[in-house]
Amino acid sequence: MNPQTAELLHQIGENLDHGMFPSVSDGGLVWPARADVDFQPPGLETQNGKTPSASQSWQTGTSGASHTPLPAAPGTAGAPGPASATPSIACRVRGLAERVQALAAAYPGAEAAETSEALWLRVSTPLLPNLGYRTIFVLVIIPALTIARGWGFWDYGIWGLQCIGPRHTNYGDASICAFDDRDDTWNYGDSLVTLLDLYAVWAVRHLYLWQFGRWPGPQASFSPFERLRECRDDEWCGCDNPKGRYADCCKERDRQLATQAKSECIVQAFFPRSVPVGVVAFAGGMVPPRITYDGLYPLFGVNPGTANKEIATAQRGVKWT
């Protein structure tokens, strides 16, 4: 990683460790926290429909996230372009058109595809100046179910896509896990720009984990087995009432619980988090997945008419970073 980019990333992580949410500029570039952006109590992550208590420390979101144009540092690549130059995105879904146009202005180059039941968006961002590769977010909005779900990918160009995760993704479809629906961080019908800003910071935290070996800032984890498997000793504990780092808070207690409940621990250890093939294919080729339902939960499969092409595209991006 470019030394200047690594230093910027480190500063963002330091901000998060001190409870300061980063600023996100037009184009999806993430910067250290700004003094003129008010910090609000942030939301918590959701894990497959299960949410921690309202007193739990936050994972990635905040209702105080700001999305305003910021100048790039002199000589840096990936500076956001003028929003006014962005073409509009066609959207016929009732109640979504205005929010989609706002997204197109804030994230130039965003693309959309509509089906009879869903709106699919693909948004690309450099994330940090001089990072060397881009990030792709896929977002699906299903109005009939008032559902919005997102996934993140590193875009390595000719080397293909890689899924971002699995830390802080939902069990099952590995969708981005960035806030608790109960905390009004983001609710269905709110600004799509705010949602993408939250995703951008979530991806930056994954970069920090990769570069510096720990998840920056407070986090939430509903399960002691998940904490044992994923949390590092020097990270914030993800319990309801964290008392600092994981090693100094819940690790020993989690070990005892795991010993007493081996069968449950084993079951959860093998519960999958896997980005659906249809979603990976959309990230690479803009062909909307076919949606089926397992009860009330949507499943995202490949389109039968282009299955071979989609599966070939998806196979280049099924690995986690």
Q: Are 120 and 103 in contact (CB under 8 A)?
A: no
Q: What phi and psi, each to the nearest 5 degrees, are found at residue 236?
A: -60, 140
Number of domains in the chain: 1
Q: Span 270-284, mean pLDDT?
A: 85
Calpha distance 267→262 (Å, rounded): 9
Q: Which domain holds residue 168?
A: 3-219+276-314
| Residue 108 included in any domain | yes
Please give the pLDDT value at position 95.
66
Calpha distance 200→26 (Å, rounded): 11
| Residue 9 included in any domain | yes
Question: pLDDT > 70: what percent of the chain?
Answer: 70
pTM metric for this prediction? 0.79
Calpha distance 44→317 (Å, rounded): 28
E-assigned strand segments in 128-191: 134-142, 147-155, 161-163
Please give the pLDDT value at position 262.
64
pLDDT at residue 122 above 90?
yes
| Residue 144 included in any domain | yes
| Residue 196 included in any domain | yes
Calpha distance 55→185 (Å, rounded): 14
| Residue 154 included in any domain | yes
- Residue 220 — very low, low, confident or very high, per pLDDT cuts 50/70/90? confident
Q: For residue range 71-92, list pLDDT tens digits in order.
A: 333 222 333 334 344 446 666 6
Please give the pLDDT value at position 292.
85
Q: For residue range 96-107, list pLDDT tens digits in order.
A: 788 888 999 999
Q: Span 237-265, mean pLDDT?
A: 82
| Residue 246 included in any domain | no
Q: For residue range 44-65, list pLDDT tens digits in order.
A: 333 333 333 322 223 433 333 3
| Burial bucket for residue 39 (CB in 10 Å: 0-12, 13-18, 19+) | middle
| Residue 62 included in any domain | yes
| Residue 145 included in any domain | yes
